[in-house]
Homo-oligomer: A and B are copies of this chain.
Amino acid sequence: MSELKSTKSIDRVYQFVKQYIHENALSPSVRDICKGAELKSTSSVHTYLKKLDELGLIEYRPGMRRAIILKNTDSDEAEVTPLGSEKVPSNVVRLNCIGKITAGQPIYAHEDYSDYVYVNKSLIGSNESFLLRVSGTSMINAHILDGDYIIVRKQDSCDEGDIIAALIGDEATVKRYGHMNGRPYLFPENDLYEPIPFDTEDCKILGKVVGLHRYTIN
């Protein structure tokens, strides 16, 4: 008498359960299904749930609240988002590797989207940052090794003693910034290398090193 319940009740129940679980990652209660399947009695729903269980379409655990489980079956992409799918939070940034810091190579060449790292924002601050791969051992005394990834926070200037990424000409390096005899230098942290005068015409500060990742799976 009501209207067009085009589909059978048992089908509406099943469809609704699937949809509800998909949307809420949580099984509906019998009364939720009442509303969703346009049934007015919980006992009706109860009947169908038992049938659906017998049909093997759902797993129904008598007495347990919100305990319907979709039985993985057939047809529509059975992606059944179990409960608790894991996603990566929004407080994480993906940093693609912008290039290798090494002698003679310009960086900013391109980003290598297959070479990246995820970083917790709270650990590096909210400023814009980028990722570089270290090549060479010129910063070994600062415990920055060949192959390490360094996270650089973009900035134009820096403080005395900061470890920074800088351009010298079109060559990029990591060095410690400081002064000697009143003049600015870039200091390698390796006795085999000489300090480099920081020439404001030729040199440019890219940013400060705020993090380091090293992966040594051999």
Contacts and interface: CB of A to CB of B under 8 A. Distances in A.
Copies of this chain present in the complex amount to 2
A75 B56 contact: no
A80 B74 contact: no
A84 interface: yes
A90 B79 contact: yes
Interface residues of A, number: 64
B84 A21 contact: yes
Contact of A27 (B74, B83, B123, B216): B83
Interface in A68-124: 69-75, 77-96, 111, 113, 116-120, 123-124
A166 interface: no
A86 B21 CA distance: 12
B66 A78 contact: no
A73 B93 contact: no
B75 A25 contact: no
